[in-house]
Amino acid sequence: AMHIPFGAKAGFLVLLAMVACSYAAVTIETQKAGDGTSFPPVGSRVKVHYTGTLAETGRKFDSSRDRGHPFEFTLGTGEVIKCWDEGVKQMSKGQSATLSCTADYAYGSRGAGSIIPPNADLKFDVELIDFTPPKK
């Protein structure tokens, strides 16, 4: 039998888990290309339009478009669900994309009020309208 030192084996499992997570957590499907060069750095104030739906049923639960004004948040600071912090930073200015979020990168086992059930995978149609990079 081959003896793998415990450390190496554990390291491999961690790597496997990280790879699995990076694929599972957020997938980005571009609907309309952005400029391909302006990506918002962490700490940017970003302005997006979005529509959120339950992945399982397609039921819309929220939309900034319905309210008629974009939603703004600071990127990468935990103001929004992890799926957004991870997904939006990979989008370029002007891009529209569908972010598919696993529950652990959304509202997890708690869900959100009466709108989002526990352990729900979500889809968001997000348009990155603009961003202001953090002050140096």
Taking the C-alpha atoms of residue 88 and residue 108, their distance in angstroms, rounded to an integer, is 19
Check 28, 39, 61, 129 and give the catalytic one. 61
Check 116, 124, 125, 131 and give the catalytic one. 124
Check 71, 85, 105, 107 and give the catalytic one. 107
Note if 50 is an active site residue: yes
Tokens of 50: 């979005």
Note if 107 is an active site residue: yes
Check 81, 105, 125, 131 and give the catalytic one. 81
Q: How many CB atoms lie within 10 A of CB 45?
A: 14
DSSP string, 44-61: -EEEEEEEEEETTT--EE
Check 28, 39, 62, 130 and give the catalytic one. 62
Note if 62 is an active site residue: yes
User: Which residues are CB-contacts of 83 (< 8 A; sequence separation ≥ 6)?
Assistant: 25, 26, 99, 101, 102, 105, 106, 122, 124
Looking at the annotation, which residues are catalytic?
A: 50, 61-62, 81, 107, 124
